[in-house]
Structure 1
Amino acid sequence: MSKRRVFDINFEPEETSEAPAPAEEQTRRGPMAAAISENADALTERQSAEAEIRAENDRLAHEYVSLKRDGAIVARVPLGDVAMRKLTRDRSTTRDPDLEELKTSIRDLGLSNPIQVEDTGDGYELIQGFRRLSAYKSLFKETGDERYATIPAVLVAKGEALEKLYRRMVDENMVRRDISFAEMGQLAASYARQMDLEVNDAIAVLFASAGRQKRHYIGSFSLLMDKLGHLLQYPEAIPRALGLKLVKTLEDQPRAAQHLSALLEHQKPNDAVAELAVLNKVVAPKPVSEQAAPSTSSKTTIKLNRKSGAAKVIGSKGKIELQMNRDFGAVDPRKLEAAVRALLDQLDL
């Protein structure tokens, strides 16, 4: 059988200037694939946007809490939503002689300094601004004007230490409008009970910015309010000096509180001036009686007959009298002194 011969033929590559086929022709997709791809891109973009929104919300939330803590968030809150349970107030809840002035200022100029409240979830707890809140309540009751139905308030972050809240309330009132010693004493006693402290320790905490002497006065008024607070209608009107005298009277005279109670019940003072008159009567010193009480001491009378005439000697408590018809002022002082010394020596005096 004859063999077939195989020849290797090498062809020169042909030069061509044609560009490769367009990519889109090589990767052409159907409508379904294109839709899926577009949905995936949209989902990725949405997830990215949501992540950015969450990050922004977290940042704003932290910023909001920080602003609340710094007292920079102000809102109008309904009067009925503000409670006063957390702190014992350092102001009288029945009388405030300057409340009318504050109401006039609010009517004319508005409230320049918002109250401070803590958000409790179902309302608000008053932290600062008792007088301002009282003024708004009074204005709303008197006028019915809806602009007084809500009050501007700074929202304070929840959970601040109770001691710090008390200190803030006390320092505000001591700086802006000095409160009475009776109100400070009552607050110290209430805080001591709430925190299970001695009154002096409570005073040291609440009135740390006050001087030592002032803290001593507050302690005295705290004792005064503990003994007489239930009897008094206008304790905030008691001056410092009168309050200290009352405390001393209570310490020296155990029945003084009972006596004061009887006086107040009998006279029924209807204002601060009348009540102060009763208190002053209690601490007034007792008048000295013009007639001395009959003496119960013994009395001795001796009559002596002398060449120069009769002499009468009377001895009583604290006194020896010598009665005689003689000018003792003309006697030599040295002889008179010697005679008296001899008398005293004879009596062992």
Structure 2
Amino acid sequence: MSKKRRVFDINFDDVPAVETPQVDPVVAPSPAPEGRRGPMATAITENADAVTARQSAEAAIRAENDALAHEHVRLKRAGLITDLIPLDLVDTTKLTRDRAPGRDEEMDDLKISIRDIGLSNPIRVEKNGDRYELIQGFRRLSAFRELFEETGDEAFAKIPAGINASGEDLQNLYRRMVDENLVRRDVSFGELARLAISYRCQDPNIESYDRAVEILYASSGRQKRSYIKSFVRLVNAIGDDLLFVAAMPRALGLRLVKLVEDQPDRIEVLLSELRARPDRDDVAEQAILQSFVASGGTTKTKTEVRKTAKSTFKMTRPEGVVKCIAADGRIELQLDRDFSGLERKRLEASVQAFFDELDGEG
């Protein structure tokens, strides 16, 4: 039986033998060169670097946001934040305005200026929930509202406004409004007095009306504050029967308040005179007050209060129906006819004949 040949027997007779080097067991093999790292180690290192970079970026963003938030709060407290506020979101109920009743005579000039060059001085408001409460700028707000109503232009639907921080002290709000409006030449002592009365009624910590005047008008001179206090006493004495206190001259007001305080029992006489003319204008009211002062507090010869009884009847004339009204101190004849064209002498003669007939001398 023949001997089997091993498959892996290779004849290397022609290859010289290689001597195997001897390795010292005490000496450790050299480490692998740096930079040759496995893919897992590389991925871990890159991920750690990315996390560090992201954390640094987030910290920088948070620091910037905190700085912006603090700056926003600072600007808001200083009233330096400005925005465009819709007109229908602005209320005017928190502060009583020191404005005379009726339309401002300079409103048209202000509207022309706003149309031509815009609003150079924004109004001031305080945030109140979803709405805003006006602090300063009543005339500017009124001008914008009139312009929007007249033109329908959306440019006037919103008004530039400085937004104050909410919760500012009521005294500071009134002082801001007062100091802004004291530069107005047409502001009257009656208006200033009513503003002081309103302020004291709103703030329970103000012990008197005089104290309210001292606080609100601290920027004014002592003499002016004294005048305002006098008008405060006058308004409190006469009340709502004084319809046009804003139009009252200073001299008349001072004389009137002295007379009312010296003769408090005569107030009812004055009130009766005022109430007898509910349809009066400012000129008629001043005439009543002047007459009261000139007479020393007696507008009538009799001491009792004037009675309000009157007689009314109608007469038929060829020109139409004449309505006659007779009351204490006045008589009226109302007819749809123009009497202004009558000759003055003829009119005087007719009136004289009328009174002669009344007195039984005709």
TM-score for both structures, normalised by structure 1: 0.70
Q: Does 1:248 align with 2:258?
A: yes
Counterpart in 2 of 1:162? Answer: 170
How far is the alpha carbon of 1:118 from its aligned partner? 1.4
Aligned to 2:219: 209
Q: Secondary structure at the match of 1:77?
A: strand
Q: Percent identity?
A: 55
CA distance in structure 2 between the partners assigned to 1:176 and 1:21 by the alignment? 91
**Structure 2 CA distance for partners of 1:121 and 1:39, relative to 1, 3 Å:** farther
Query: Partners of 2:109 and 2:193 in 1: how far apart?
Result: 26
- 1:229–1:235 CA contact under 8 A, matched in 2: no
Q: Using the alignment, how far apart are the partners of 1:286 and 1:84 within structure 2?
A: 41
* Counterpart pick for 1:76 among 76, 81, 84: 84
Say whether the 8 Å CA contact 2:127–2:163 is kept in structure 1.
Answer: yes
CA 132–270 in structure 1, closer or farther in 2 if over 3 Å, else same:
farther
**1:24 paired residue among 14, 35, 40:** 35
Bigger CA drift: 220-229 or 249-258? 249-258
User: Quick one: which amino acid aligns to residue 237 of structure 2?
Assistant: K
Amino acid aligned to 2:264: P
Q: Deviations over 1:206-252 (max 9, x none)?
A: 11111111111101111111222411332211111111112122123
Larger Cα-atom Rg: 1
| Aligned-partner SS, 2:168 | coil
Report deviation, 1:84: 2.5
Question: Which of 220, 223, 242 is the matching residue for 1:232?
Answer: 242
3-state SS in 2 of match to 1:91: coil
Aligned to 1:58: 66
* Alignment pair present for 1:219 and 2:229: yes
- 2:150 matches 1:171: no
Label 1:232 to 1:146 Cα distance change in 2 as closer, same or farther (>3 A): farther
What secondary structure, in the 3-state scheme, does the structure 2 residue paired with 1:267 have? coil
Structure 2: how far apart are the matches of 1:276 and 1:104? Answer: 34
- Deviation sequence 1:113-147 (CA, Å, 0-9, x none): 11111122322121111121122222222322222
Q: 1:131 to 1:93 in 2, by over 3 A?
A: farther
Contact 2:259–2:296 (CA under 8 A) maintained in structure 1: no
1:332-347 matched pairs, under 5 angstroms = none
In 1: Cα distance, 2:245 partner to 2:90 partner: 27
Q: 2:242 is paired with a residue of what secondary structure?
A: coil
Q: Does 1:186 align with 2:194?
A: yes
Cα distance change of structure 1 residues 80 and 42 upon mapping to structure 2, 3 Å threshold:
same
C-alpha separation between the residues in 1 aligned to 2:23 and 2:119?
Answer: 103
Q: Secondary structure at the match of 2:276?
A: helix
The aligned residue for residue 135 of structure 2 is 127
In the alignment, the residues of structure 2 paired with residue 91 and residue 188 of structure 1 have an alpha-carbon distance, to the nearest angstrom, of 13
Aligned to 2:109: 101
Q: CA deviation at 1:203?
A: 1.0
How much has 1:287 moved relative to structure 2? 12
The question of whether the paired residues in 1 share the 8 Å contact of 2:263 and 2:297 is answered with no
Q: Supply the distance in 2 between the matched residues of 1:93 and 1:82 (Cα, whole angstroms).
A: 20
Tell me, in whole angstroms, the C-alpha distance in 1 between the residues paired with 2:148 and 2:266.
Answer: 44
Match runs of 1:265-284 below 5 Å: 265-284=275-294
Q: Normalised by the size of structure 2, how large is the TM-score?
A: 0.67
Q: Work out whether residues 199 and 219 of structure 1, in 8 Å CA contact, stay in contact via their aligned partners in 2.
A: yes
- 3-state secondary structure, aligned to 1:116: strand
- Give the alignment partner of residue 49 of structure 1, picking from 57, 60, 68: 57
Measure how far apart 1:34 and its partner are: 4.0
Could you tell me how far apart the structure 2 residues matched to 1:263 and 1:248 are?
Answer: 18
Gaps of 5+ in 2: 1-21, 25-29, 299-362
- Which moves more between the two structures, 277-286 or 194-203? 277-286
How far is 1:93 from its partner?
5.5
Contact 1:269 / 1:275 at 8 angstroms: preserved in 2? no
The amino acid across from 2:33 in the alignment is: P
Q: Describe the superposition over 1:157-210 as per-residue Cα deviations: whole angstroms up to 9, x where unpaired.
A: 223222222111111111255521111111111212222221111111111111
Partner of 1:5: none
Return the alpha-carbon distance in structure 2 between the equivalents of residues 95 and 220 of structure 1: 27
Q: In structure 2, how many angstroms separate the alpha carbons of the residues matched to 1:228 and 1:200?
A: 18
